[in-house]
Amino acid sequence: MNKEERQNELLQAALNVFIEKGYKASTTIEIARAANISEVTLFRHFKSKEEIFMLSIKPVIEASLDMLKLDPSHENFKASLRVALILRVDYINQHHQVIKLILNEQMLLKEYANVIDVMVKSLQDVLVTYGITQQIERKQRLLMGMFLSFLYHPDVKRERIEEYCDFVLDQLLER
């Protein structure tokens, strides 16, 4: 196993500890134990607990922000937006524990300051890009509500996810 693979393994162990206990209640000793290494070895790979935390959540934050970008040149906007909503819900369902951790520990996220504001602004930009400008704030809140509902009440039943996304899509496209 190379150094990068080992670090990823350590970050996954750390992420599990952070999810279970939160940032403040987690210790580097617990993280090292979860990774089956000594604390000294942990610090050979990382400078601090904060660095471990930031590196462990970084992929989820970055993928989450990237998922808000849509291609406005797509021929069928409604179909494109539908797929994007479903993929977003799937992502939230798959990563709900980490996303809740990120929201709970947002004050630590100097590198990703105001991650919620960035997401809301990105949602607004997507809506405006596609000509959805009427009642923009309500539509932003509708999307955020949908995402939060799946965050705190994940649902893996494809049919229900698609039905809910279709309902939200109809509300978004209502002019």
The confidence band for 72, taking pLDDT boundaries of 50, 70 and 90, is low
Query: Which whole-number Å values give the CA distances from 108 to 49, 56, 87, 144, 163, in the listed order?
Result: 11, 13, 28, 22, 36
Question: What residue spans define the domains of the chain?
Answer: 3-55, 67-173
Instruction: Tell me the per-residue pLDDT of 101-157, one tens digit each, with 9 for 90 and over.
Output: 988 887 776 666 566 677 777 778 877 877 788 888 888 888 889 988 999 999 989
Nearest alpha carbon to residue 15 among 40, 52, 42, 45: 52
Superfamily of domain 3-55: Homeodomain-like (1.10.10.60)
